[in-house]
Amino acid sequence: MPKVSEEYREARRDEITSAALRRFAAKGYRGTSMSDIIGESGLSAGAIYGHFSGKEELFAAVAERILGARAVELTELRADHGPLAPGEIMATIIDGMRRDAIAPTMFLQVWAEAAIDPSVRTLVHSFLGPVRDLLHGLVAEWGAAHPDVAGDDPVAYARRVVPVLMGLAPGYMVQSSVLDDFDAEAYLATVRRLVPN
């Protein structure tokens, strides 16, 4: 039997992750079964389980894909412009999630599940932890370059500011999902202006 290349395995995992993302977005985390994902993918159960142990691992892969893309965008922006202002950091994250049209409603559903299901809460912690760490580093870096705003302890500044910043993304997601007259452009522009730059 020929060996399967790592490139092929990654392409297949990506295909399965895409199918899972579509199902989670349509039916929510709780409402999506492995059978739904298998049907969406057009692959056999064996093909799916050969790559993922179950729904929780698939959701982690979906979240990692979406949030990983945001981390790449921030890293590239940081390389081009130097330390990023807190408002610019969050506007970049929110705008990227907006371009992933599926992401806002999917994350809202999972956050709602996390409020009542301890296993989903653990899952949410697993993908939000790295995001929080990234934000702490970027905000502390900006704080060190702006002691007039951050004071003499940029790490303490980041610890205070990051929880507030992280609240801006769910605020965007809720309003954009449920308010017909929500002005996404004005929200992003205000985030950029409201948080020091």
At residue 9, the pLDDT reads 86
Domains in the chain (CATH in brackets) are 55-194 (1.10.357.10)
- Between CA 44 and CA 82 the distance in angstroms is 47
Classify residue 148 as left (phi > 0), alpha (psi -120 to 50) or beta. alpha
Helix (H) or strand (E) holding 189: helix 184-194
Helix (H, G, I), strand (E, B) or coil at 100: coil
- Give the relative orientation of helices 55-81 and 86-99 as an angle to the nearest 10 degrees: 130
- Between CA 162 and CA 132 the distance in angstroms is 7
Classify residue 84 as left (phi > 0), alpha (psi -120 to 50) or beta. beta
Tens digit of pLDDT per residue, the chain (197 long)? 556 688 888 899 999 999 998 898 888 788 899 999 999 999 999 999 999 999 988 988 888 888 888 889 999 999 999 999 999 999 999 998 888 766 677 778 888 888 998 988 898 888 888 889 999 999 999 999 999 999 999 999 999 999 999 999 999 989 988 899 999 999 999 999 887 76
Helix/strand/coil percent split, the chain, to 5: 80, 0, 20
Distances (CA, A) of 1 to 4, 81, 166: 9, 50, 49
At residue 20, the pLDDT reads 92
At residue 84, the pLDDT reads 94
pTM reported for the whole predicted model: 0.82
- Between CA 114 and CA 66 the distance in angstroms is 18
At residue 114, the pLDDT reads 86
